[in-house]
Structure 1
Amino acid sequence: MGKAKNVVILATGGTIAGTAAHSSQSVGYTAAQLGVEQLLAAVPDLAQVAGGGLISEQVAQLDSKDMDGPTWRHLALRCAHWQAQEDVAAVVITHGTDTLEETAWFLHEVLPVSTKPVVLTCAMRPATALLADGPQNLRDAVACAVDAKACGVLVVAAGQVHGARAVRKQHPYRLDAFSSGEQGPLGWMEEGRVRWQQPADMGGAQGGCLELLPAAGDWPWVELVSSHAGCNGRAVDALVAQGVQGLVVAATGNGTLHHALEAALQRAMRAGVPVWLGTRCSEGQLVGSPETASTEALQPRPVTLSPVKARISLQLALISDL
């Protein structure tokens, strides 16, 4: 029988490490106050769940609304480091909820394909809440990491297992705030084990991009814009004038754009700014057809990602081209 391996816990702050003045407060709190050792202490049997040892590391300590490129880079490098260790079975990341879906997708894109899963988890209530959800989510994440039959980047929260591509935060404060939309979760946590419904996507889509990530704050400037009633192109023109390097558009419906915004986007593309097109709709993806295809030579590139995830992929594409 092989030697039991370690599970690495990388902490980045967030609500799971947050505190409030009173145990009755589940909304008015300060994120990223507790260290990783305090999070582990809240789950006394965590090492037993891991089936081996626990290695913990405080990678960052922030409210995830303030997540940035350099922090992502540092987190990805630490993940890759631990995945490369022979005595490590999996990596679990504690994270804030606001940008968790973005971090999950970023890691999915940049980490090399590995047989060792990376599992992100979080909390919707601070650690001081009377019924804090963080300890159970952390326990479930470790159990999922050990039990994972498919690898790649996963998210575990409120008893569900989600894949990096489909997961999104759909509610501002409910405990089951995360969903995979019409795809549904990959599985459910049941008494410390995963009941898998479908396999996860493997990571490493960008291949080698991890080594190219800028260490400082000079990541490619990619902005989100949205098509809506009464839209105009002034914001796009202003962004181009200020040197924006890429644009991602949250279009209405099946990729439709207000005519004024579309004209501005075509001006941006003529100026050499790449434009990617997603949809504002929370479910489904863009479906092209000959009947709806435009005859214009310059058209935004349609993608099957949510706009916030498309922004990350466009950033990485620009980094790879630098």
Structure 2
Amino acid sequence: MKRIVILGTGGTIAGQARRSDSHVGYTAAQISVEDLVAGVPALAGLPLEAEQVAQVDSKDMSFAIWRALAARVAHHLARDEVAGVVITHGTDTLEETAYFLQRVLAPAKPVVLTAAMRPATAPSADGPQNLLDAVRVAALPGARGVLACIAGTVHAGDQVRKIHPYRVDAFDSGDAGPLGYIEEGRLRRLRDWPAGQALGLAPVLREDWPRVDIVTSAAGADGALVEALCALGAGGLVAACTGNGTLAAPLEAALLKAQAGGVAVLRANRIGRGALVEPDGAAPALPSAGALTPVQARVELTLQLLQRGS
């Protein structure tokens, strides 16, 4: 077995609660990644390295951490002796980090994000098994791409999304379905590894990232928020749409005006499943994000603007 590098960023998997029977009353990002690894007996003796990149509750994930994380992942993947990388992460923004890393790196080796819905102090903590499964997936010959391994299920990093606030099986992959399942330590793979063209580190290492915000269409929505965000200097806006990409008329008018003024706009489906289906023969006035969720679309639009140098 080649070496597996485990990068820690905090999250519930590294959380502690005052009461051992509490699954929600805890403080995230308290335990070092070295101690998380030491707490899984089945990992003892394996060729592992652990490195703490950040120690945050993932609701507080930042672009600065993303830049550091992408750079460290790229560094370790370039080492011949490294088979893959595992990242311990919080569940709240895991889908955003996974999408970001897949689009930026599209790695030829596996990069496996894992997390937990229960803190490390819970009597039925899910973190140790998830970490063990992630290491096993990262060590698989031929594995590639950014993946998420949680609750015995493996998802493609550019499709995974959180769908439940409490259950341990809190993630799915939308209409695409999971990439596979971990069964008795073995992966039963259902479809191909993630693929794509890497954007590379160069566009994302700059510190002046453009502001990209999400606005939501709902009953009574108007354009006031769009106008305010444009005044704040937003370079891009993602519209979380009702139905098949529809928008309240005042909100749509404000978004069209913003687009005409140079602000990049993407429409995304607020429902959480499916993809926007456009009419034949006509390009939409506001571009579609396809099957991306609003938060994935925000990452995508940010990366597009970084590529353009905006």
* TM-score (norm: length of structure 1): 0.92
**How do 1:1-12 residues align onto structure 2 when only pairs under 5 Å count?**
4-12=1-9
| Runs (5+) with no aligned partner, structure 2 | none
Residue 147 (structure 1) shift: 2.1
3-state SS, counterpart of residue 319 of structure 1: helix
Work out the number of aligned pairs and report it: 308
2:229 maps to which residue?
239
Identity in percent: 55
RMSD: 1.5
3-state SS, counterpart of residue 41 of structure 2: coil
Residue 292 (structure 1) shift: 7.8
- Quick one: distance in 1 between partners of 2:31 and 2:295? 28
Deviations 1:104-141, CA, capped at 9 Å, x for gaps: 00000111542x10000000000000110000000010
> Do the aligned residues in 2 keep the contact of 1:226 with 1:251 (CA within 8 Å)?
yes
Residue 165 (structure 1) shift: 2.1
- Quick one: distance in 1 between partners of 2:204 and 2:177? 32
- Quick one: distance in 1 between partners of 2:114 and 2:107? 20
Comparing 105-114 with 166-175, greater Cα deviation is found at 105-114
| Runs (5+) with no aligned partner, structure 1 | none
Q: What code does the residue aligned with 2:154 have?
A: V
> Do the aligned residues in 2 keep the contact of 1:148 with 1:194 (CA within 8 Å)?
no
> Do the aligned residues in 2 keep the contact of 1:13 with 1:63 (CA within 8 Å)?
yes
1:106 aligns with 2:100: yes
2:199 maps to which residue?
207
Query: Which of 58, 69, 85 is the equivalent residue of 1:75?
Result: 69
Q: 1:47 to 1:85 in 2, by over 3 A?
A: farther
1:290 aligns with 2:280: yes
- Quick one: distance in 2 between partners of 1:88 and 1:47? 18
1:225 maps to which residue?
215
- Quick one: distance in 2 between partners of 1:80 and 1:293? 37
3-state SS, counterpart of residue 275 of structure 1: strand
Q: 1:300 to 1:47 in 2, by over 3 A?
A: farther
Q: What code does the residue aligned with 1:252 have?
A: T
- Quick one: distance in 2 between partners of 1:148 and 1:259? 52
> Do the aligned residues in 2 keep the contact of 1:96 with 1:123 (CA within 8 Å)?
yes
**How do 1:71-220 residues align onto structure 2 when only pairs under 5 Å count?**
71-114=65-108, 116-147=109-140, 149-203=142-196, 205-208=197-200, 210-216=201-207, 218-220=208-210
> Do the aligned residues in 2 keep the contact of 1:16 with 1:126 (CA within 8 Å)?
yes
